[in-house]
């Protein structure tokens, strides 16, 4: 290696000298030439030293060691997080207190012949604190925390998934009390008939064997997490295995307030900031989003050289988390910008007409992959929606495409995301909520592999009906649509009060039943 380097370096130096001789020689004095040669030699020596530097060599050994350790599962942590760091989720924490007590005072339970609750399954949407809760269980009991992800057994360790499960449990028993956390359990625990894969089946079988083989003397608790409980194999959910299911939901307004408090407790906030106001403005966000918002707000404040975080920083952070990063110097043709302005105006106007969630902001500044966006701000958490409310939501989503068709009489690619969401809602209405002419049948979503013709027809029918009504609304209120689009082209962004100012008393509040019918007629 060294000989090769010397050879290459000498070659470079000699080439350089030849080149310098031929082109620059007339301009360089002999002193300059000596200097260049000296620098080249110094650089060469520096490079050779780096190659032999013990720190560099050490770094290579270290990475290898880490890989080895991971293969034999020697990694576990002793988390410092406790239930105080997990905001909201009171019912779940209450249930887990029993498990914690079992780990902390296992003797008491063993004397009574009580068996340790072996498997706990957290299920619910992403970013709601499942991993955080699992590590808090370990933190509260000072247990060793082994964390693995279902996908890594089948992706990273092909051929060794089953072996890895075995060693993971062995090590956890040795370090007991311990908590094993398996995230994305669906990657190994999906229903076996859904996608048959030998590697995955072997891993799952080994997991079942380990769960069954637990001995009550061992204080090892296994917690698994998934966003898709419906996909899991029944065998995993049977009593004695993952038999305690806990739903970890997206936070409601009260929980959002608690989570924001946790994530702002070490941050210098402007005293005028109301956390409960912020909680209302972050409807639909998960715990992970909220921690992101708090962090982004702090970063924005630092960027502006401020010593405290103000509400304006939070507003920017919320927008960034909802809509993605603002694209600097976008290259959009003026014609495209006009199309986007009508598209976004369509969403905003239909939202106003139907009095759905308040339009907080409408903008044609590109963010993330979107060329424009509308931020709606629901006033309250809703858990049950009627068929009419679902249709209203779909109409707001279809407002963009309908506006484009009305004004330009063409279809563009800009409505892809809207159509995806609309189709999802319509599909749920047909297959899950019994809101179509197909009747009250419930179709398991994972079982609908290819949609049957009748389901497809129903979905299409619902979307078309909504679309036609939306189109007619925009036709009726075309003046307002043009007003918003023109203002957007001039100002790029309109907030809710600017929108109100622009539209005046719109839509007028009907005073009589007749007036209401006239307003709603399309
Ligand atoms: N209830 C909560 N209280 C405080 N912080 C939370 C809460 N929920 C989520 N967070 C924050 O969000 C981050 C991500 O949450 P976590 O990884 O636990 O979610 P998850 O449900 O495991 O997500 P996924 O399903 O994507 O794996 C946490 O590290 C924490 O900062
Ligand atoms: Zn859209």
Q: pLDDT at residue 498 above 70? A: yes
* Confidence at residue 325, expressed as pLDDT on a 0 to 100 scale: 65
Q: What ligand is nearest to the CA atom of residue 122?
A: 1
Q: pLDDT at residue 448 above 80? A: no
How far is Cα 465 from Cα 476, in angstroms, rounded to an integer?
Answer: 17
Q: pLDDT at residue 47 above 60? A: no
* Confidence at residue 463, expressed as pLDDT on a 0 to 100 scale: 96
How far is Cα 480 from Cα 503, in angstroms, rounded to an integer?
Answer: 7
Least confident of 144-148, 175-179, 422-426, 511-515: 511-515
Q: pLDDT at residue 214 above 80? A: no
* Confidence at residue 222, expressed as pLDDT on a 0 to 100 scale: 92
* Centre of ligand 1 from the C-alpha of residue 224, in Å: 14
Question: Which residues partner with 247 through β-bridges?
Answer: 123
Cβ of residue 127 lying under 6 Å from some atom of ligand 1: yes
Residue 139 binned pLDDT confidence (cut-offs 50, 70, 90): very high
Q: What ligand is nearest to the CA atom of residue 181?
A: 1
Share of the chain above pLDDT 70, in %: 78
How far is Cα 142 from Cα 78, in angstroms, rounded to an integer?
Answer: 6
* Confidence at residue 321, expressed as pLDDT on a 0 to 100 scale: 86
User: Which residue has better confidence, 357 or 502?
Assistant: 502
* Confidence at residue 323, expressed as pLDDT on a 0 to 100 scale: 76
Mean pLDDT to the nearest integer, 370-388: 82
Give pLDDT tens digits for 61-120.
222 233 334 444 448 888 889 999 999 899 899 989 988 988 888 888 878 887 777 789
Q: What is the pTM of this model?
A: 0.70
Least confident of 111-120, 402-411, 445-454, 469-478: 445-454
Write the secondary structure of 102-150 as one string of H (helix), E (strand) and C (coil).
Answer: HHHCHHHHHHCCCCCCCEEEEECCCCCCHHHHHHHHHHHHCCEEEEEEH
Q: What ligand is nearest to the CA atom of residue 402?
A: 2
For 383, the 3-state DSSP assignment is coil
Residue nearest to atom 24 of ligand 1 (CA): 126
Residue 214 carries which DSSP code? -
Q: pLDDT at residue 513 above 50? A: yes
Instruction: Report H helices in 20-53.
Output: 30-52
Residue 18 binned pLDDT confidence (cut-offs 50, 70, 90): low
- The answer to whether residues 19 and 12 touch, using CB atoms and an 8 Å cutoff, is no
Least confident of 20-29, 179-188, 329-338, 399-408: 20-29
Residue nearest to atom 25 of ligand 1 (CA): 126
Angle, vertex CA 210, rays to CA 216 and CA 193, nearest 5: 135
What distances in angstroms separate CA 164 from CA 27, 180, 203, 233, one per listed residue?
68, 13, 8, 20
Hey, which residues are catalytic here?
Answer: 344
Give pLDDT tens digits for 64-74.
233 334 444 44
Residue nearest to atom 29 of ligand 1 (CA): 132
- The answer to whether residues 138 and 78 touch, using CB atoms and an 8 Å cutoff, is yes
Q: pLDDT at residue 487 above 50? A: yes
* Confidence at residue 159, expressed as pLDDT on a 0 to 100 scale: 64
* Confidence at residue 37, expressed as pLDDT on a 0 to 100 scale: 57
Q: Is 347 annotated as a binding residue?
A: yes
Q: pLDDT at residue 424 above 60? A: yes
Residue 8 binned pLDDT confidence (cut-offs 50, 70, 90): very low
Q: Tell me the ipTM for this assembly.
A: 0.96
- The answer to whether residues 243 and 140 touch, using CB atoms and an 8 Å cutoff, is no
* Confidence at residue 71, expressed as pLDDT on a 0 to 100 scale: 45
Q: pLDDT at residue 6 above 70? A: no
Q: pLDDT at residue 471 above 50? A: yes
Mean pLDDT to the nearest integer, 223-252: 88
* Confidence at residue 78, expressed as pLDDT on a 0 to 100 scale: 87
- The answer to whether residues 165 and 210 touch, using CB atoms and an 8 Å cutoff, is yes
Mean pLDDT to the nearest integer, 252-281: 92
* Centre of ligand 2 from the C-alpha of residue 337, in Å: 13
Cβ of residue 407 lying under 6 Å from some atom of ligand 1: no
* Confidence at residue 31, expressed as pLDDT on a 0 to 100 scale: 64
* Centre of ligand 2 from the C-alpha of residue 392, in Å: 15
Q: What are phi and psi of 132, to 5 degrees?
A: -60, -45
How far is Cα 186 from Cα 450, in angstroms, rounded to an integer?
Answer: 21
* Confidence at residue 3, expressed as pLDDT on a 0 to 100 scale: 41
Residue 361 binned pLDDT confidence (cut-offs 50, 70, 90): confident
Residue to mutate, 92, 129, 148, 255, ligand 1, most ligand atoms under 8 Å from C-beta? 129
Residue 373 binned pLDDT confidence (cut-offs 50, 70, 90): confident
């Amino acid at each position: 290696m060294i000989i090769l380097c010397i050879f290459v370096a000498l070659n470079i130096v000699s080439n350089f000298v030849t080149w310098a001789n031929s082109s620059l020689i007339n301009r360089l004095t002999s002193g300059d030439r000596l200097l260049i040669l000296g620098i080249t030699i110094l650089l060469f020596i520096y490079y050779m030293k780096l190659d032999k530097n013990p720190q560099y060599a050490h770094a290579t050994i270290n990475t290898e060691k880490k890989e080895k350790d991971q293969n034999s599962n020697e990694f576990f942590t002793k988390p410092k997080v406790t239930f105080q760091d997990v905001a909201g989720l009171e019912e779940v924490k209450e249930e887990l207190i029993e498990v914690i007590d079992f780990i902390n005072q296992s003797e008491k339970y063993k004397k009574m012949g009580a068996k340790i609750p072996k498997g706990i399954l957290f299920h619910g949407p992403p970013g709601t604190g499942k991993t955080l809760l699992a590590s808090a269980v370990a933190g509260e009991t000072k247990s060793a925390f082994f964390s693995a992800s279902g996908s890594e057994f089948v992706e990273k360790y092909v051929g060794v998934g089953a072996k890895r499960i075995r060693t993971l449990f062995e090590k956890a028993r040795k370090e007991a009390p311990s908590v094993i956390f398996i995230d994305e359990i669906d990657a190994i625990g999906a229903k076996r008939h859904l996608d048959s894969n030998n590697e995955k089946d072997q891993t799952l079988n080994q997991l079942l064997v380990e769960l069954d083989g637990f001995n009550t003397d061992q204080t090892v608790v296994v917690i698994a997490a998934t966003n898709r409980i419906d996909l899991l194999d029944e065998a995993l959910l049977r009593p004695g295995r993952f038999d305690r299911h806990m739903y970890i939901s997206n936070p409601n307004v009260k929980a959002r307030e608690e989570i924001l408090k946790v994530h702002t407790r070490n941050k210098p906030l402007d005293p005028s900031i109301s956390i409960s106001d912020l909680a209302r403005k972050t409807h639909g966000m998960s715990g992970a989003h909220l921690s992101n918002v708090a962090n982004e707000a702090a970063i924005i404040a630092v960027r502006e050289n401020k010593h405290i975080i103000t509400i304006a920083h939070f507003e920017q952070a919320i927008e960034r988390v909802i809509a993605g990063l603002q694209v600097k110097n976008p290259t959009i043709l003026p014609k495209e910008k006009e199309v986007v302005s009508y598209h976004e105006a369509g969403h905003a106007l239909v939202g106003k007409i139907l009095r759905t969630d308040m339009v907080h902001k409408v903008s044609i500044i590109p963010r993330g992959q979107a060329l424009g966006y509308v931020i709606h701000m629901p006033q309250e958490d809703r858990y049950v929606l009627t068929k009419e409310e679902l249709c209203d939501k779909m109409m707001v989503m279809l407002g963009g495409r309908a506006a484009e068709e009305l004004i330009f009489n063409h279809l563009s690619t800009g409505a892809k995301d809207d159509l995806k969401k609309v189709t999802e809602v319509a599909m749920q209405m047909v297959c899950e909520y019994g809101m179509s002419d197909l009747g009250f049948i419930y179709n398991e979503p994972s079982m609908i592999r290819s949609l049957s013709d009748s389901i497809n027809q129903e979905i299409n029918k619902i979307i078309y009906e909504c679309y036609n009504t939306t189109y007619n609304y925009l036709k009726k209120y075309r003046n307002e649509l043009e007003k918003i689009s023109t203002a957007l082209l001039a100002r790029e962004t309109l907030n809710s009060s600017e929108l109100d100012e622009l539209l005046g008393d719109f839509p007028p509040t009907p005073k009589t039943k007749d007036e209401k019918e006239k307003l709603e007629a399309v």
